[in-house]
Chains A and B, each alone.
Chain A
Amino acid sequence: MPEPLHAIIFRSIYISSIAALLAFIVGLFIVVFLLKAPARVSRNALGVFEGLVGIPPIVVGVFMYMLLYPGGPLGPLRLLYTPTAIIIGEFLVALPLAVVFMHRPLESLWRDLTELVESLGAPKSKAVPLVLRESPPILLTAYLVSFSRAIGELGVALIVGGGIEGVTNVMTTAIALETSLGNYEVALKLGIILVLIAVSLILVLRLAGARIVEAA
C-alpha cells in the first residue's frame, strides 16, 4: 500500500466526525421543530426520516454525483473528488439517523416531564430546564450513531470521493480497492481496524459524555 495507513485512518475520522457533527446540529434543529409542530405534521415527517434511515449510501452518492459533476448544477464549485463532497454526502446519509435517534426519546422525555410538572401544579414551561438536564445522553447517542454510520459507509466516499490516494482515500474505499485487487488479507486488516476505531472512539466519547453529565 503506497499510502501510510495512519493517513487513511485520520482522514476517515476527520471526514466522518465533521459529517456526523453537521448531521447532529441540523438534526437537532429538525427535532426541535418537529416537537413544536402539530402532531399530524411531526408524525408524517418522522415517518419520512424513518424511511430514509436505511437508504443505501450509494444512492446518495449517485445523487450527489449528478449535482457535483462538472456539467451538473453545482459543477462550477469543483467539489467532486474532494473531502468536502464526502462530508456533505455522509451528512445526508447520517441525518435521518440523527433525527430518529433524537426525536423519540426527547419526545417521551418532554411528555413525561410536562405531565410531572403539571401534576405538581406548575406551568408547562417549568419542564424546559428539566428536559435540558436529562437530554445530554440522548444527544450523545445520536451523534455517535451518526458517526458510526458515516465512517462505515462506502457508497458516497467511492462515488463523490473517488478513493483518491492522498486526498479522499478513506478506510472503506481502501477496503473496496484492496478487495478488487484480490488483497483480501489487507482488506480484512483494514476492516478490523475500522471496527476497532469505531468501537473504541464511541466508548471513549461515552465515558467523557458521562463525566459531562455528572458535572452538570
Chain B
Amino acid sequence: MAEAYRRLAEPYKVLLALAFLGLLVFLSTALLWGSQHEYVTVGSVIILYNLGVSQDLMEGFKSFSNVDIRFVVRGTGDLMRLLSDGSICVAFTASPYLESLYMSRDAIEWHGIFAYSYFIVAGPPGDPANVSGARSLAEVFERIYRAGERGEAKFVSRGDLSATHVREVLVWNFTGLNPEGKQWYVRTAQGPVQTALVADNMEAYLLMDEGTYIALKSQGKIRDLKMLYTNKSDPLNLYVASIVSSKNDACKGLRTFILELRDYIMGPGQAVIEEKYSPQGLLHPAKGREEELRKAWESLSKIGG
C-alpha cells in the first residue's frame, strides 16, 4: 500500500513543483517590471497613429530625453477618460466637444491645437448625387439628402462625437435638413478607418479628413471611394494635445518631462509635421494659424451631447 502511495504521488510532485516554479517566475518578473526605469504613457487617436504622426513626434522628442515612451491607441472618448484618471500622461485627440467637456471639469490641462487637416467628401466614383458640382459643403449635403430620398445615394456617419462627426452635424444643422432615422443614413460609431471602409463597401458618401483619405488610398485599403468635394476655405479638422491635470498625483514625477514635451510639439515638432506630412496633404502644422484654429475649435466644441 505504501508503495502504491509513493508511486501515485510522483505526478503530483511534478505538478506541484511546476506550480511553484511558475509562481516564482511570476512574482520575480512582476517585481522586475515594477522596478523598470521611467516611462511615460501617451494616448493617441487611431487617425494620428495610422499616419505615424504620434510616433514621429515622440521619436523626435526622445532625442531630448531618456524617458521611454509607451503608446495606447484608442478613440478620443476613451483617451479623455484615461487622461483625467492619470492612466496616461499625454493625449493626442480630435474631438472638440469631448475635449471641452473634460476641460470644463478641470480634469485635463493645456490644450494645444498642434495640427489640422482639411475635410473632404468622398463617395462612389459614379457620384449619383452629383456632389462634385457643388460650391459649398452645405450644398453637397443637400444634394446627398435629395439623392438619398430618391433612393440613389447613401451616407455613412461616424456617429461618435469625433471632430469629423461634430462637423457633419453642424453642416446638417446649417442646411436645415435632418437625416436622422432615414433609411439611407448609416451610423458606424467607429473610427475613421473602419467608417471609410464601410462607405467604400456600401458605395456610400461620407465626410472625412483629407489625410486619412490620402493615406488609405495610397495604402490600397479603399478601392472605389473617390474624393468628390474639397474646399480649402471650409473649416478644418483639428488635432489637439493635452496633458494630465497638475492636481492629479499620477505622472507627477514626469511633470518636467511633460512640459518639455509640450514645448517640443509646439516648437520643433511643427517642423516635423511641415516637412513630412504637409507636402502630401496629410496634415498641416498649426504654427502661424493658432488664433484662427482656436476660434474654429471653440465653435465646434459647442456641438455634441
A129 within 8 A of B: yes
Complex contact B4–A81 (CB within 8 A) = no
Complex contact B10–A216 (CB within 8 A) = yes
Segment touching B, from A31-39, A163-171, A194-202 = A163-171
A22 within 8 A of B: yes
A84 within 8 A of B: yes
How distant is the Cα of A84 from the Cα of B18 in the complex, in angstroms?
Answer: 19
Complex contact B26–A87 (CB within 8 A) = yes
Segment touching B, from A52-60, A107-115, A176-184 = A176-184
Complex contact B33–A180 (CB within 8 A) = no
Interface string of A174-216 (1 = CB under 8 A from B): 0001011111000000000000000000000000000011011
Cβ distance B77 to chain A, nearest Cβ, rounded Å: 14
Specify the chain B residue showing the minimal Cβ separation from A130: B8
Complex contact B70–A212 (CB within 8 A) = no
A residues 129-145 touching B (CB-CB < 8 Å): 129, 132-133, 136, 139
The one of A81, A180, A216 that contacts B8, using a Cβ cutoff of 8 Å? A216
B197 within 8 A of A: yes
A117 within 8 A of B: no
B126 within 8 A of A: no
Interface string of A1-30 (1 = CB under 8 A from B): 000000000000000011001101100000
Complex contact A129–B19 (CB within 8 A) = no
Question: Which of chain A's residues have a CB closer than 8 A to the CB of B23?
Answer: 21-22, 25
The one of A22, A132, A163 that contacts B73, using a Cβ cutoff of 8 Å? A163
Complex contact B46–A18 (CB within 8 A) = no
How distant is the Cα of A162 from the Cα of B8 in the complex, in angstroms?
Answer: 44
B residues 232-288 touching A (CB-CB < 8 Å): 248-251
How distant is the Cα of A78 from the Cα of B251 in the complex, in angstroms?
Answer: 11
A51 within 8 A of B: no
A73 within 8 A of B: no
Complex contact B87–A81 (CB within 8 A) = yes
Complex contact A78–B34 (CB within 8 A) = yes
Complex contact A164–B41 (CB within 8 A) = yes
Complex contact A71–B250 (CB within 8 A) = yes
Cβ distance A151 to chain B, nearest Cβ, rounded Å: 16
Complex contact A18–B22 (CB within 8 A) = yes
Complex contact A21–B19 (CB within 8 A) = yes
A102 within 8 A of B: no
Number of interface residues of A (CB under 8 A): 41
Q: Known interface pairs A70-B85, A78-B34, A163-B73. Does A18 touch B12 (Cβ–Cβ under 8 Å)? A: no
Complex contact A70–B87 (CB within 8 A) = yes
Cβ distance A144 to chain B, nearest Cβ, rounded Å: 14
Cβ distance B163 to chain A, nearest Cβ, rounded Å: 17
Complex contact B71–A164 (CB within 8 A) = yes
Complex contact B8–A212 (CB within 8 A) = no
Question: Which of chain B's residues have a CB closer than 8 A to the CB of A71?
Answer: 85-86, 248-250
Question: Which of chain B's residues have a CB closer than 8 A to the CB of A84?
Answer: 26, 29-30, 33-34
Cβ distance A210 to chain B, nearest Cβ, rounded Å: 12
Question: Which of chain A's residues have a CB closer than 8 A to the CB of B49?
Answer: 181
Question: Which of chain B's residues have a CB closer than 8 A to the CB of A25?
Answer: 19, 23
The one of A129, A177, A181, A215 that contacts B4, using a Cβ cutoff of 8 Å? A129
How distant is the Cα of A75 from the Cα of B250 in the complex, in angstroms?
Answer: 9
Question: Which of chain A's residues have a CB closer than 8 A to the CB of B191?
Answer: 180
A49 within 8 A of B: no
Question: Which of chain A's residues have a CB closer than 8 A to the CB of B71?
Answer: 164-165
Question: Which of chain B's residues have a CB closer than 8 A to the CB of A181?
Answer: 46, 49-50, 193
Complex contact A164–B70 (CB within 8 A) = yes
Question: Which of chain B's residues have a CB closer than 8 A to the CB of A42?
Answer: none
B15 within 8 A of A: yes
B residues 201-227 touching A (CB-CB < 8 Å): 216, 219, 221
How distant is the Cα of A17 from the Cα of B25 in the complex, in angstroms?
Answer: 12
Complex contact B8–A18 (CB within 8 A) = no
Complex contact A83–B29 (CB within 8 A) = yes
A interface with B by C-beta (< 8 Å): 17-18, 21-22, 24-25, 65, 69-71, 75, 77-84, 87, 129, 132-133, 136, 139, 162-167, 177, 179-183, 212-213, 215-216
6 further A-B contacts with Cβ under 8 Å, apart from A84-B29, A180-B73, are: A21-B23, A78-B34, A80-B87, A81-B87, A129-B8, A215-B10
30 contacts between A and B (CB under 8 A): A18-B25, A18-B26, A21-B19, A22-B26, A24-B19, A25-B23, A69-B87, A70-B249, A70-B251, A75-B250, A77-B34, A79-B34, A81-B72, A83-B29, A83-B33, A84-B26, A129-B4, A136-B11, A139-B15, A163-B73, A164-B41, A166-B70, A167-B70, A180-B73, A180-B191, A180-B194, A182-B50, A182-B193, A215-B10, A216-B10
By Cβ-Cβ distance, the 6 closest A-B pairs, closest first, are A70-B250, A70-B86, A182-B193, A164-B70, A182-B221, A84-B30
